[in-house]
Chains A and B, each alone.
Chain A
Amino acid sequence: MAVAAQVVWPEAILVGSETENLVGRCLTGDADAFRELYRNHRPHVARLVQRILGPDSEVEDVIQEAFIQIHRSLPSFQGSSLLSTWIHRVAVNVALQHIRRRKRQRAGPVTMVAEPPEPSSGDPAPEEDVLWRDRMRKLYAALDTLSPKKRAVFVLHEIEGMSAEDIAKTMHAPLITVRTRLFYARKALYALLAADPSFHELVGGGGG
């Protein structure tokens, strides 16, 4: 084993496209550059994080955490994928990590309990909204029974409407793996939802 004492920092910062410039500027510690990156990408990152987590009081914190992780990992962005794809990948990973942490903190498996809808604080929500919020909560309780990776694939495909190809790129996984995960996730989730009375009217009895 050779022990080398020198430290070689990655120095190759390409100056080319606007994206590379932005990344390059971020890497030199340019705060304005990172602010620009944040403003450009926050809406989509927020959307992905929120859809993966569902009704979770920590959505905002996780978005924040995602951008800290993005900042931290920028040196590893190699330009082999689009910057946005890479950013979304980091965001999805941070969201999944949050879910794993949350799962570990909760004791035992999550069961689907028909909770009464939260009493609305402040302005009274229309009855229909309450109904949808209740469904939303149940959907995410059901999603908690999936592994984080399957949950992500399911949410991105079924709720966000991404194609399996785009999910594969975002999650850096083979397409076939994404398809397989999607299949198992759908199989489990559809069965759960079809069995739930509050979805039953949606699933079993026409539209709305």
Chain B
Amino acid sequence: MSAHAPELRRLFAFLDGRLPPRDQLETRVHLEACPACRAQLDVLRRTRGALRELGERMPVVPPQNPNAEAKLMQEVARRGAPGTRVQWWWLPVTAGATLLLALLVLPRLRGASAGGEPVTETVAPGPEAPAAEGDRVATVVALRGQVEDGVSAEALHPGKAGDDLPGSAVIRTGGDGEARLALAAGGEIALGPATTLVLPPDAQGVLRLDGGTIDVHVTPRKEGERPFGVETAVARIEAIGTRFRVVHAAGATSVDVSEGKVRFVSLPSDEEQLVAAGKAARVDGSGRVAEIPAGSTLVAVAEAPAEAPEAALTPEPPAPAPEPPGEAVEPGEVEVPIQVTRARGTIDGARVRARVSRQRGAFQSCYADYMMRVAPQPVRVNAKFIVLDDGSVGSIDVNLTVEDPTLAQCVERVFRAIEFPRPQGGPARVFYPIDLSP
């Protein structure tokens, strides 16, 4: 083999001193013999040094404008106590115009997304596997052909049914191997041939698929639990209670969903997509997410090259394309509105309620998305807004009991899209709490 392209991932890990001792040594030996890698490492090291130096030359704390504190305290006083300010700020102004309404939204995520029966079937856990205990993250339920597992990639041994796998353990199937795991957090994963899967440090963490195919069946997550997550070199998939297949081969990741839906995130580009049952999508090193025909991952399985067990580190994905400029829609935005409108008007509460109720579906989908991304836990939305003379929404302040800018923004968008009845006597203030629960 002639001069090769240096493997950046390994060089960065080496630079950070994060390689396991054996790999560290191996890399050192390789560097002695390989001028290309040596030169590359040198550039990385110098660049890191330059960045450190830049950091040190930045002022430790930007000088404070002498008025900053006074201005902040003034602004905070104007806003009142966090979370309770409504009681004094909203009520006295126009008692008749202030509405205290609550809308209880009860989405049925599974029923709604899969369009069928909720998943009632449960995965039989490992024979002697009760609820999560100790640091067991998964148990090998069944296997066939060549399967190895161990606490790390350096300590693999032939696997057998009943093996308890702790956090960060590795399981690897050979070209003819297959294995089934029961997850301590609920759910089951079937590993296809030539697959390497790294378990998360704890039962709630994200798995890593280094290569190969997994079929995942996630049981619904309990309140407060993180969604199930699996990550490859180019994509992350999140789900709460679904069935799907993930294939990672030749630097590209495909997901094929058979039940429910999953969130598919391209790591090179941060592009995100919800993939629903009967759909499939793919992302490669360019970072672009493309829809692919459902079932086409079956072909990918057959084509997936058996990864040599010696390739301990994740294979270098193809160079990612430059990120899309502008990033038109970036979730995670919270506007911090400063109330300026003087609201004196009155508005018909029953009609406001009717208009908002009509958007129940939209609120549900905001919340369904939140449950997918975060956890199926109850959320209270406190929305305060001003309805302008023409019935449109002026300034709006969406406060949540959880910190989730994406949900707040989604809710805000729904409110903004509503055409309200015209208020009388000028803009009117509305306070609208919504309870969202799974």
Contacts and interface: CB of A to CB of B under 8 A. Distances in A.
Interface stretch (A14-22, A46-54, A116-124): A46-54
A203 B43 contact: yes
A114 interface: no
A190 B214 CA distance: 34
A147 B325 contact: no
Contacts of B47: 190, 193-194, 199, 202-203
Given A34-B73, A146-B323, A159 B43 contact: no
19 contacts: A1-B106, A29-B81, A31-B76, A63-B62, A72-B336, A72-B399, A75-B82, A76-B401, A136-B57, A147-B330, A150-B270, A158-B48, A158-B52, A176-B208, A190-B44, A190-B47, A194-B43, A202-B46, A203-B46
Contact of A50 (B43, B51, B62): B62
A64 B82 CA distance: 16
Interface string A187-206: 11010011000010011100
B6 to A, nearest CB: 12
A59 B62 contact: yes
A108 B401 contact: no
B104 interface: yes
Interface string B109-150: 000000000000000000000000000000000000000000
A69 B334 contact: yes
Interface string A1-18: 111111111100000000
Interface of B: 8-9, 12, 43-44, 46-55, 57-62, 64-65, 68-69, 71-73, 75-77, 79-85, 100-106, 200-201, 205-206, 208, 229, 231, 233, 236, 267-270, 319-320, 322-323, 325-327, 330, 332-334, 336, 353, 357, 360, 380, 399-403, 405, 433, 435
B40 to A, nearest CB: 10
B286 to A, nearest CB: 12
A39 to B, nearest CB: 8
Contacts of A177: 206, 231, 236, 267
Interface in A160-194: 160-161, 174-177, 180-181, 183-184, 186-188, 190, 193-194
Contacts of B106: 1-2
A43 B69 CA distance: 12
A38 B70 CA distance: 11
Most buried by A among B53, B83, B206, B320: B83
A113 interface: no
B208 A76 contact: no
A31 B77 contact: yes
B79 A71 contact: yes
B401 A145 contact: no
Contacts of A34: 73, 76
A145 B322 contact: yes
A176 B336 CA distance: 31
A75 B399 contact: yes
Given A5-B102, A100-B327, 4 more contacts: A35-B73, A47-B62, A145-B323, A148-B330
Nearest to A43: B61
Contact of A139 (B54, B72, B100, B403): B54
A174 B12 contact: no
B64 A72 contact: no
Interface of A: 1-10, 26-29, 31, 34-35, 38-39, 42-43, 46-47, 49-51, 59-60, 63-65, 67-69, 71-77, 86, 89-90, 93-94, 96-97, 100, 103-104, 108-109, 132, 135-136, 139, 145-150, 158-161, 174-177, 180-181, 183-184, 186-188, 190, 193-194, 199, 202-204, 207-208
B54 A60 contact: no
A90 B320 CA distance: 30
A93 B65 contact: no
Contacts of A69: 334, 336
Contact of A51 (B53, B55, B320): B55
Contact of A180 (B51, B233, B332, B433): B233
Nearest to B399: A72
Contacts of B380: 8, 10
Contacts of A71: 76, 79, 82
B333 A51 contact: no
Most buried by A among B50, B269, B323: B50
Contacts of A194: 43, 47
A-B interface, 8 closest residue pairs, ranked by CB to CB distance from nearest: A29-B81, A75-B83, A109-B325, A159-B55, A202-B50, A74-B82, A174-B206, A2-B104
B61 A47 contact: yes
B20 to A, nearest CB: 15
A173 to B, nearest CB: 10
B104 A1 contact: yes
A183 B326 CA distance: 21
A72 B79 contact: yes
A123 B372 CA distance: 55
A68 B50 contact: no
Nearest to A32: B73
B231 A26 contact: no
Contacts of B64: 42, 46, 60
B43 A190 contact: yes
Contacts of B82: 26-27, 29, 71-75
Given A43-B61, A100-B330, A158-B51, A180 B231 contact: yes
A18 B231 CA distance: 39
Given A43-B61, A50-B62, A64 B104 contact: no
Nearest to B51: A158
A76 B403 CA distance: 6
A10 B83 contact: yes
Contact of A136 (B12, B58, B84): B58
A35 B231 contact: no
